[in-house]
Chain A
Amino acid sequence: MKGERDKILKIMNELVCFFFTLGISDPHIDIKKTDSSTVIVVEANYNDPDYKKIDRFQELIHGARQEDLDEYYWNLAGNSQYPEFILLGTLIDSANITYTNQILRIEVTRKHN
């Protein structure tokens, strides 16, 4: 898949950017890329959760991959000046957000089809 690595990096940037907007400065990133998909996990300690922002983020990336937007607009993702969480949602196939034991964990999957 041409450009797939760049798209994965853009997705990672968007996720890290979201952590920054929450005031989290030390997110941990884990990426696993296989032939069929890539899973990106970003997690961090988060003591004073802003549920409104997290809920809004979850709504925006509710996992509706849009291939037409994916190919055309993916270059806009990953810019810290203008976070594109709705674009992030169109780049991924599924997302799972959890907040337990004061750890915020976001896992997203992008299939390589």
Chain B
Amino acid sequence: MDKPFEPYPSMNCRIISEKVKYRIIMSYALYFILCAFIFNTPLDILNGLKDIISSPSILISDYMAVGNVGAAFVNSGILMLIALAIAHKNNSHMTGSLIAAVFTVGGFAFFGKNVYNIISIILGVYLHSRIQKEKFSKYLLIAFFGTSLGPLVSQISFGLDLPPLLGLFSGHMAGLIAGLVLPALAGHFVKFHQGFSLYNIGFVSGMVGTFFMSVIRAFGKNSERALIVSVGNDLEFTVIFGLLFVSLLVLGFYFNNKSFRNYIRLFRHSGRLIEDFVLMDGFAITLINMGTLGLLSTALMLLIGGELNGPIIGGILTVVGFGAFGKHPKNVIPVMAGVFFGALLQVWDITSTAVLITVLYSTTLAPIAGKFGWKAGLLAGFLHITIVMNIGDLHGGMNLYNNGFAGGMVAGTLVPIFESFRKEEI
């Protein structure tokens, strides 16, 4: 377990033990929990957590508005700690994919994931591993990313007006079934887009959510879409997350022999699954990339004139997490620009939360820009926003990775077209 991965020998950077890597990522979870007390008292936080846990959590439900800001921070920190504890227990290395998963779980804990709605999904994946007589560690990423279906559990439990016990039972049964089928689908669906959409589970969860939503609608129930967002915390969040991203940069700088040397080399990667930056370029360079992406994303949100709230913080943290697993400024900027221009030309309000999170999460298509160039990235982003704004109704907001669902479709459609116009290799 404590045997660290060694990056390329040519990288000549410091080897960092697994224990140190775990501690660094864990410190960010603890940082979130500590930050909670800037905003609320412990009692307020407890009450906020109760509200969060008992909310339907359908997309988009900002936990800062559903509960309170402090409760959302604690929820995020706790979920990251749970993910880290499960990973550590299963002797998983702190690779780029695991960092991406932990930050994604933490990010979405600001608007849709909570202790109540992730457990049965993780248990379902665990059950799959038992049935297959395989180690759970093999399915860890699927379990973590699969919590995208958290609203499925919460919505059935609290949002369909079922009798309380029936609601709780049905919600968890749905989560268990979803978790049970996710591993089989995850490996299969990745072939459709050939790894050009980084949120592969988002694509899978979109399909699973659509099935569940169809069944629910078939029995006369429905899921009303939500748009609950908080306002008025831009300054505080800029400071809190600015410090976080600067600390990532400083740590990366320190571990990289006090330099930013070799960081630009990271841009040579297309980012297609599974380009794990920790394995390929080392932990230090990865931290620098994560910090850079965090600062870039936050600055972009503020420049556009958006409000920093739960979903947007979640989006920024997801971009940061995938800074260890496929994303870097060179491949995310063209896609983000495509979404931005798409929003300007189409009917969407560029400063709305729905569009801003699309700017962030559209970077699921970063590998398209990385592989086929910035023009392809621009086009992918432009098309992505048109799809993502239409696709949420299929699963009724039960899949938190709506952009992953749309991204899978965009990548699965565009990549074969781009490929057909490429010069044939002999």
The answer to whether the Cβ of B272 comes within 8 Å of any Cβ in the partner chain is yes
Assembled-state Cα–Cα distance A62/B7 (Å)? 9
The answer to whether the Cβ of A60 comes within 8 Å of any Cβ in the partner chain is yes
Contacts A59-B9, A75-B191, A76-B194; A82 near B272 (Cβ below 8 A): yes
Assembled-state Cα–Cα distance A86/B137 (Å)? 19
Residues in A with CB closer than 8 Å to B134 are 2, 71
Chain A residue total in the interface (Cβ 8 A): 25
A68 contacts which of B5, B138, B419 (Cβ < 8 Å)? B138
Assembled-state Cα–Cα distance A75/B95 (Å)? 19
Contact B95 A72 (CB under 8 A): no
The answer to whether the Cβ of B389 comes within 8 Å of any Cβ in the partner chain is no
Contact B140 A76 (CB under 8 A): no
Contact A84 B98 (CB under 8 A): no
Per-position binary interface string of chain A over residues 67-100, scored 1 when its CB falls under 8 Å from any chain B CB and 0 otherwise: 1111111111001111010110110000000000
Assembled-state Cα–Cα distance A108/B350 (Å)? 51
The answer to whether the Cβ of A64 comes within 8 Å of any Cβ in the partner chain is yes
Contact A72 B272 (CB under 8 A): no
Residues in B with CB closer than 8 Å to A82 are 194-195, 272, 371
Contact B275 A86 (CB under 8 A): yes
B371 CB to nearest chain A CB (Å) = 8
Mostly helix, strand, loop or mixed at chain B's interface? helix
Chain B residue total in the interface (Cβ 8 A): 37
The answer to whether the Cβ of A66 comes within 8 Å of any Cβ in the partner chain is yes
Contact A68 B137 (CB under 8 A): yes
Residues in A with CB closer than 8 Å to B183 are 71
Contact B135 A67 (CB under 8 A): yes
Contact A75 B190 (CB under 8 A): yes
Residues in B with CB closer than 8 Å to A2 are 132, 134
The answer to whether the Cβ of B228 comes within 8 Å of any Cβ in the partner chain is no
Contact A69 B276 (CB under 8 A): yes
Residues in A with CB closer than 8 Å to B305 are none
A64 CB to nearest chain B CB (Å) = 6
Contact A75 B188 (CB under 8 A): yes
B6 CB to nearest chain A CB (Å) = 7
Per-position binary interface string of chain B over residues 84-124, scored 1 when its CB falls under 8 Å from any chain A CB and 0 otherwise: 00000000110101100000000000000000000000000
Residues in B with CB closer than 8 Å to A70 are 138
Contacts A68-B138, A70-B138; A76 near B273 (Cβ below 8 A): yes
A40 CB to nearest chain B CB (Å) = 20
Contact B5 A64 (CB under 8 A): yes
Assembled-state Cα–Cα distance A86/B135 (Å)? 22
Among all A-B residue pairs, the 4 with the closest Cβ atoms: A71-B138, A59-B8, A67-B138, A68-B140
What are 6 of the A-B contact pairs (CB < 8 Å)?
A66-B93, A66-B279, A71-B134, A71-B183, A75-B190, A87-B274
12 additional A-B pairs beyond A75-B191, A90-B276, A90-B279, beta carbons within 8 Å, are: A66-B95, A67-B135, A69-B97, A69-B274, A72-B142, A73-B274, A76-B273, A79-B194, A81-B194, A86-B274, A87-B274, A89-B279
Residues of A within 8 A of B (CB): 2, 59-60, 62, 64, 66-76, 79-82, 84, 86-87, 89-90
